[in-house]
Chain A
Amino acid sequence: EAQVTQNPRYLITVTGKKLTVTCSQNMNHEYMSWYRQDPGLGLRQIYYSMNVEVTDKGDVPEGYKVSRKEKRNFPLILESPSPNQTSLYFCASSYAGSNYEQYFGPGTRLTVT
């Protein structure tokens, strides 16, 4: 089944404790993105990647890191999480042949206390 998976789905952590949210897609898509969703603000793009080793900042990259060492994986790293990073996070993948229609993962709900 074609899908985007994220782990963990739920995470409660404390300020300053490094964490990684994994994202994997099995559709051989070249493009992947991370978004955060906050009430009243819609989805905001954090980072995106156009292919292996090619990443770029979205609208809200501060406090986040990403890497794209393999085509299928695009982990999101929070080196020192803060309470304002409490949010619902989505990973998505797409490919040029579909005009970049995005396939979304199920989401990761992160709470930073």
Chain B
Amino acid sequence: SQQGEEDPQALSIQEGENATMNCSYKTSINNLQWYRQNSGRGLVHLILIRSNEREKHSGRLRVTLDTSKKSSSLLITASRAADTASYFCATSYGQNFVFGPGTRLSVLP
């Protein structure tokens, strides 16, 4: 199993600060995706980075991928209270997806 693992497990920051979450995985991947989940609801896709890419941006999100270290990071800039949620990385090889346990982000107003 190419288990992904996020770090930290939980993160609390003030509104306006940046939040960084890390993800590590174990085996070769086609791509790595980040998802967001609000309290018990379905996951929502945020951003995908392919294995041959090193960095990708989408709005306030910045994702990096280091395949040599088998790690990725998600940066949320200028955080808002509405960013409070759990964030998961997911690695895939074909249709076999592996999600990490997630990082619980709390953005305090």
A residues apposed to B, CB below 8 Å: 4, 31, 33, 35, 40-45, 48, 50, 56, 58-59, 88, 90, 92, 94, 99-107, 109
**Distance in angstroms between the alpha carbons of A94 and B96 in the assembled complex:** 12
Question: Which A residues are in CB contact (< 8 Å) with B48?
Answer: 99, 101
**B95-A33 in contact (CB<8A):** yes
Min C-beta distance of B19 to chain A, whole Å: 19
Residues of chain B having any CB pair with chain A under 8 Å: 1, 4, 30-31, 33, 35, 40-45, 48, 50, 88, 90, 92, 95-102
Q: How far is the CA of A107 from the CA of B40 in the complex (A)?
A: 8
Task: Give 10 A-B contacts (CB < 8 Å), ordered by A residue.
Answer: A4-B42, A42-B99, A45-B96, A45-B97, A90-B42, A101-B33, A102-B33, A102-B35, A104-B43, A104-B44
Bound form: Cα–Cα A109–B99 in Å: 19
> In the bound complex, what is the Cα–Cα distance between A41 and B99 (angstroms)?
9
Residues of B within 8 A of A105 (CB): 42
- Taking the closest CB of chain A, its distance from the CB of B92, in whole angstroms, is 6
Q: How close is A104's CB to chain B, nearest CB, in angstroms?
A: 4
For residue B101, which residues in chain A have a CB less than 8 angstroms away from its CB? 40-42
B40, B45, B88: the one contacting A42 at CB < 8 Å is: B88
Q: Which residue in chain B gives the minimum CB-CB distance to A60?
A: B1
Tell me which residues across on chain A come within 8 A of B92, comparing CB atoms: 100
Contact of B98 among A31, A45, A109 (CB under 8 A): A45
Residue in contact with B97 in the complex, picked from A4, A33, A88, A103, CB distance below 8 Å = A33
Q: How far is the CB of A2 from chain B (nearest CB, A)?
A: 13
Q: Do the beta carbons of B99 and A43 come within 8 Å of each other?
A: yes
Contact B31 A48, beta carbon cutoff 8 Å: no
With A42-B101, A101-B33: A106-B96 Cβ-Cβ less than 8 Å: no
Q: How far is the CA of A100 from the CA of B98 in the complex (A)?
A: 13
Interface centre among B33, B43, B96 (most CB of A within 10 A): B43
Name the residue on B nearest A105 (C-beta). B42
Give chain A residues whose Cβ lies under 8 Å from the Cβ of B43: 43, 90, 92, 102, 104
| In the complex, chain B residues whose CB is within 8 Å of the CB of A59 | 1, 96, 98
